[in-house]
């Protein structure tokens, strides 16, 4: 069974986190959510129960564990997902432990998903120059170091990036396809009953 580590912090965009997590679970992916504290140097025991994360719209989300680079090693997961939300994305992208783990996933050819302002982590983690997208609000911070695109979802090898809450479903379904195959993507998509003509 594939597995995914999904990060969140205070200020994470609720739709981007929830739609990714829910869609992956529907595909049979074992998901763990990990709370990244605002103190970027804090690395705690992942077994300690974390507080609620207050999302960008004030919705509380209960993470599964605290983020801990030691406990949440790259060999335990097939993918890492970084949601957006300006405040949450800033916390995650500025964490040296998160940066290190993202590089480990990327260099191990494991799936790295980033959406909205979460794509800033590609910059702070010093991923190689390649096609990438993000929320328009952070385009200026990324376009010098990456081949910036404006498609809803951009796939570059094992890096999948997307734009915002409105592209969260095609982003999540693309993650499913990469982890579980095109047939599983179709199987998950059908019962969601998207309106006819949706381009994903």
Instruction: Reduce the DSSP state of residue 90 to 3 states and report it.
Output: helix
The answer to whether 14 and 61 have CB atoms below 8 angstroms apart is: yes
- Select which of 14, 16, 177, 180 is catalytic: 16
Tokens of 82: 């970084």
**Total-model pTM:** 0.95
| Cα–Cα nearest to 180, from 13, 31, 6 | 31
Q: Residue 102 and residue 67: Cα distance in Å, rounded?
A: 13
Q: Is 13 a catalytic residue?
A: no
Decide if pLDDT at 46 tops 70: no
Q: Is 116 a catalytic residue?
A: yes
- Domains of the chain, with CATH numbers? 3-192 (3.40.50.880)
Q: Residue 175 and residue 159: Cα distance in Å, rounded?
A: 10
Residue range 96-131, pLDDT digits in tens: 999 999 999 999 999 999 999 999 999 999 999 999
- Select which of 13, 14, 31, 135 is catalytic: 135
Instruction: Reduce the DSSP state of residue 81 to 3 states and report it.
Output: strand
């Amino acid at each position: 069974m594939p597995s995914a580590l999904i990060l969140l912090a205070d200020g994470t965009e609720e739709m981007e986190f929830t739609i990714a997590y829910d869609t992956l679970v529907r595909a049979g992916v074992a998901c763990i959510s990990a709370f990244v504290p605002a103190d970027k140097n804090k690395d705690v025991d992942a077994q300690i129960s974390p507080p609620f994360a207050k999302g960008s719209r004030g919705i509380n989300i209960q993470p599964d564990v605290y983020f801990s680079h030691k406990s949440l090693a790259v060999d335990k997961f097939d993918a890492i997902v970084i949601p957006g939300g300006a405040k949450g994305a800033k916390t995650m992208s500025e964490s040296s432990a998160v940066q290190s783990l993202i590089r480990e996933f990327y260099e191990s050819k494991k799936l790295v998903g980033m959406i909205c302002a979460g794509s800033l982590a590609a910059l702070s983690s010093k991923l190689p120059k390649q096609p990438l997208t993000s929320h328009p609000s952070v385009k200026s911070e990324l376009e010098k170091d990456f081949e910036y695109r404006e498609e809803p979802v951009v796939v570059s090898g094992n890096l999948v990036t997307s734009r915002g809450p409105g592209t969260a479903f095609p982003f999540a379904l693309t993650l499913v396809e990469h982890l579980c195959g095109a047939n599983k993507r179709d199987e998950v998509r059908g019962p969601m009953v998207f309106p006819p003509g949706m381009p994903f």
